[in-house]
Amino acid sequence: MKCFGFLFSVFAFFASARADPTWSEVGLAQLSDKNISPLGQTALALKPAEWKHAETPNFIYHFFHGFVAAPVSVEAEFYYRVIAKELEKDTTQWERKSHIFVFERPEDWKAFQQKAALDPWTGGIHSGNDLFLLRDSELKFKGRTLGHEITHLVLHRFFGSGIPLWLNEGYAEYASTRAYASFERARGFRAKPQSQAIAPTDFIPVGKLAGALSYPGEDKQVATFYAESEKLVRFLSATNKPSFLAFLEAMAKGNKFDNALSRTFGSRFTGVDSLEREFKVYASKDYAGE
C-alpha cells in the first residue's frame, strides 16, 4: 500500500550502525524464506550482483551495504514485538517472513519506481508482504515513519490484505505512535504518544471515512484522513480492547463497518450514529497518554 507517511528520513536514527542482535548476513540461496514477490524480483533485477541479504527472526532484508540496512533491523524487530503483543498474536513458529528492500541511491530508486510503475513522489511503498524504501543519508532521522510501514507489514502478516484503508492507516499511525514512544523511552528519552485534535469543521463523517477506497485528493484532507483514522482506532481500543481486537478480525474478514460494529460493540453503541456522536467529541481533543 502506498503511504502518505514518507520514508525519506528514517535511517540516520543511529549514529552508529547497530543491528538487531540476531542480524545475520547470508547469501540469497541461504535465506530461510526464498519467496521473492514479482515486485521484489523487479528490485533485485536492478544491479543483481550488488544486492546483499540478511535476516532476523521476523524479517528478511535486501540491501547494498550492511551499515545502512542493519539499523533498520533494530526498529523492525522492536516494532514487531510491540505490535504482536498489542494484537495478542504470536507467530514465532511461522516460517514466512516479510521482506524489506533498502535502496540507497536516488537513481536506483528512480529506476525501480519506473519499472514498478510507482508514483514519482513515493519515498517508500508497502506491498503485501514487502516493504521497499529509499534511505536518504542527507536527512536526519525523523520519528516513526519506519514504524508506520513496519506496522503495515505486521498487520498484513496477521490479517492478510482484507483490512480497509482507514483501519490499515489508522492502526499504523496508532501503533507506531505508541511503539515509538516506548522505543524512545527504552533509549532514555522522555516520550509520550501524541495525537492531534480534529477540528469539528474538518471532521470526516465516520461512514465516509470507513467507506473510503482511496486517499482524499487534497493534502489537507489526506492529513485529516490519517489523523481521524488514528483517533478512531484509539477510541475503539480505549473503549474496549477485546472488542476492538474482535472488530479488527471481523473487518479483516470482509465484514461491513456497521455489521462488525454491532457484532463487537453492540452493547456499547446502538449503531454508527451513536458511535459518531461520542467519537466526534473525543476526536476534537488533543491526546497525550502513557
Buried b (16+ CB within 10 A) or exposed e, 208-228: ebbebeebbeeeeeeebbbbb
Residue 80 beta carbon to Zn ion: minimum distance, rounded to whole angstroms: 16
Helices (H), the chain: 38-45, 66-86, 106-116, 145-159, 165-186, 206-211, 219-239, 241-252, 257-265, 272-283
Give the shortest CB-152-to-Zn ion separation in angstroms.
5
Q: Which is nearer to Zn ion, 70 or 125 (CB)?
A: 125
Binders in 157-196 for Zn ion, by CB under 5 A: 169, 172
Cα–Cα distance for residue pair 199/108, rounded to 1 Å: 41
Region binding Zn ion by CB under 5 A among candidate stretches 1-9, 89-97, 156-164, 249-257: 1-9
Q: Which is nearer to Zn ion, 70 or 227 (CB)?
A: 227
Cβ distance to Zn ion smaller for residue 86 or 169 = 169
> Looking only at Cα atoms, what is the longest distance across the chain?
60
CA 182/CA 190 separation, integer angstroms: 9
Cβ-based nearer residue to Zn ion, 6 or 14: 6
Q: Say whether 95 sits in a helix, a strand or coil.
A: coil
Nearest residue to 64 (alpha-carbon basis) of 79, 43, 83: 43
Q: If binding is defined by CB under 5 A, does position 125 make contact with Zn ion?
A: no
Q: Report the C-alpha dihedral over residues 275, 277, 279, 283, rounded to 10 degrees.
A: 160
Total number of residues binding Zn ion (CB under 5 A)?
3
Window of 3-11, 59-67, 90-98, 177-185 that interacts with Zn ion by CB under 5 A: 3-11
The pattern of x and - marking residues 45 through 84 that bind Zn ion according to CB under 5 A reads ----------------------------------------
Nearer residue to Zn ion within complex by CB, 3 or 179:
3
Q: Least CB distance from residue 223 to Zn ion, whole Å?
A: 13
CB of 3 to Zn ion, least distance (A): 3
Task: Decide whether 83 or 172 has the Cβ nearer to Zn ion.
Answer: 172
Question: Which residue has its beta carbon closest to Zn ion?
Answer: 3
Per-residue b or e along 80-114, where b marks 16 or more CB atoms closer than 10 Å to that residue's CB:
bebbbebbeeeeeeeeebbbbbbbbeeebbebbbe
User: What's the closest the beta carbon of residue 233 comes to Zn ion, in angstroms?
Assistant: 13
* CA 93/CA 41 separation, integer angstroms: 26
Residue 3 in the binding site for Zn ion (CB under 5 A): yes
Q: Is 261 in the site for Zn ion (CB under 5 A)?
A: no
Give the residues lining the site for Zn ion (CB under 5 A).
3, 169, 172
